[in-house]
Structures are given as structure tokens and as C-alpha cells.
Amino acid sequence: IGVSGQMDKVFFWRLGVFLVVTLLRLFPGDSQRVEMPKKDIEAIKGQMVVLEAWYTPTSVIEKNTVIWNFKAREYKNIISYSSGEIGIGSSEFRKRVGFAVSMPSTNLSIYINNTQESDSGNYLCNVIIPGAPTLSGELNLDVKVPPTPPVCSITGDPVLRGNVTLSCKSSYGKPVPQYKWTKAAPVSEIYFPPMQNEKQGTLRLTNLTKSMSGKYVCKASNTAGSDSCHINLEVSTPSNIWFIAGATVGSGLGIVALVLFLVLIFRRECDIEEEMANEI
């Protein structure tokens, strides 16, 4: 029993060592990396974004060097701090990037003003510590773009019992915009597939009636914003309906005139026959 108890102690001791080593590998100490609470950040074009980062030093920080790099196709230095000096790297970030707090600091966060779609990519923060391993952290920034003002158009002839298609399109947006048509006046209405195609931005109206006249609004939207355009639809009477009606009336009058003419001819023939009979 004594030997069995010792073996159990050895087993649990080895198990404890294994768990500690595993946890250290999975969750290294703060002093071994740059902490970033958000690894994936989204921003909207034109707005400001803050890339948060910090570290826990094991010595004085005044001699440490902080470097932020940006990688889209290749790495570019965008801002750095070393020996009391702040340096701005790539020209595309000048006057738009800065440290969020006064340096030196354990808070390594930076801000980017007036974000552009081209700012999307990976950002790497390095802390170079004399006589110690370099600390690093990486995050991804995705700059979204609201839809450009859409353009509304109509195809088809908006006449009674006719068919038309309303179309709406933005030239750009990230993510790709979705489109939704609604009737705003005089009575609000919403539409569903297959009449409406939210990806293509089309609304098909068939067998038009006067009540379908009104203001139709198309809203282009994505997760970054929205914009809209509208069309005033006026359902009219076909121009050839008067020609058809005139032709119909004319035909009717012609038939009446022909009948009257035949009646007159018949009566005249009857009068002539009656006169001839009287003369005999």
C-alpha cells in the first residue's frame, strides 16, 4: 500500500508539472508579448480608429523602442518612438497617425484619423528592449466604405396595363450594398421577391394601374452606412387609345351612313316604281 501511495504522488506531481508547462505555453506572461484586446477591428471610412496595445515591463521603459508597422502587400513603418523622439514613417499616414498617450508609456495605443480603405490590413507593434527579447503583437484593421449615392432609373413605358422596371445602383461600397425599394407616397408599400431583387436593385411592376402612381424610394445600404434615390412614377393613358377610339367611332358612323344611303336608294326605287304604276 505504501508503494502504491508513493506512485500516486509521483503521478499527480508529474501531471501537475505537465499542466503548468502547458498553461505557460498557451498563456505566456505579459512580459513576453504586446497585449492587444482586439485582434480584429472595424472602422468606417473617414472616421478615427484607435489601435489598442500595451505591455508589462520588467525594467525601466525609457530606453525601450516602440515601432508600429503596417502590412498590406509589404511592411511599412508608420510610427515609432525611440530615445524621446517620435518618428512618422510612411507618407500616406502623415498628419493622420499618432500615439494615443504621451511617450514613453506602457500604453502603446495609436490613433489613425480620416481612415481610408487603403488602411485595411495587418498592424504589427514591436517593443525593442535592450538585452531582452523583442515583444510583439499583431491585429487586423478592416475599413468599410458606405455606398456611394445610388442612381435611380426606369425602363419600360409607364402606361395603363403596361410593365416597368425600376433600377437602383451604387458605383461602390464595402461590403457590397444591398438595395430595397419602397413606395413612399401617396400610400406606403413594401415589396418582396420575386418583384424585388435586393442584390440587383430592381423592382418590377406589371399590369400598371393609376393607383400605382407615386414616389418610389430606393435605399442602398451596407454595414458602413446608407444612401438613397427616388423616382416619381406617373401612370398615364396610352397615346394610341384615342386613335383606337376614334377609329371605332368612325367605323360606327360609316356603317350608319351606309345604312342610311341604302335606305334612301331603296325608298327612291320604291317611289319610281309607284310613279310608273300610276302612269299606266
pLDDT value at residue 239: 72
pLDDT at 234: 97
pLDDT score for 243: 44
**Average pLDDT across the chain, whole number:** 85
Is the pLDDT confidence value at 274 over 80?
A: no
What are the strands of the beta sheet with 40-44, ordered from one edge? Answer: 40-44, 135-144, 121-128, 65-71, 75-82, 85-88
Q: What is the mean pLDDT of residues 27-50?
A: 85
With bands split at pLDDT 50, 70 and 90, how would you rate the model's confidence at 28?
very low
Task: List, for residues 63-112, the tens digit of each pLDDT value.
Answer: 999 999 999 788 899 999 999 999 999 999 999 999 999 999 999 999 99
> Is it true that 33-144 and 151-233 share their CATH fold?
yes
CATH 2.60.40.10 fits domain 33-144: yes
pLDDT value of residue 15: 53
Domain spans of the chain, in order of start: 1-29, 33-144, 151-233
Average pLDDT of span 149-154? 98
Whether residue 277 has pLDDT greater than 80: no
Q: Residue 206: pLDDT band by 50, 70, 90 thresholds?
A: very high
- pTM attached to this predicted model: 0.70
Predicted confidence band at 230 (pLDDT cuts at 50, 70, 90)?
Answer: very high
3-state secondary structure 138-199: EEEEEEEECCCCCEEEEEECCECCCCEEEEEECCCCECCCEEEEEEEECCCEECCCCCEECC
Region 213-242 average pLDDT: 91
Q: Does residue 13 carry a pLDDT above 50?
A: no
Instruction: Write phi, then psi, for 150 (nearest 5 degrees).
Output: -75, 160
| Residue 155, CB-side half-sphere exposure with 13 Å CA sphere | 6
Would the pLDDT of 275 be above 70? no
The predicted pLDDT at position 267 comes to 72
Domain 151-233: CATH class, spelled out: mainly beta
User: Higher confidence at residue 264 or residue 122?
Assistant: 122
pLDDT at 70: 97
- Report the DSSP beta bridge partners of residue 221: 178, 226
pLDDT at 248: 47
| pLDDT tens column, 234-273 | 999 987 544 444 444 455 555 666 667 676 776 766 666 5
Q: pLDDT band at 279, cuts 50/70/90?
A: low
User: Of 129-133, 189-193, 224-228, 240-244, which range is least confident?
Assistant: 240-244
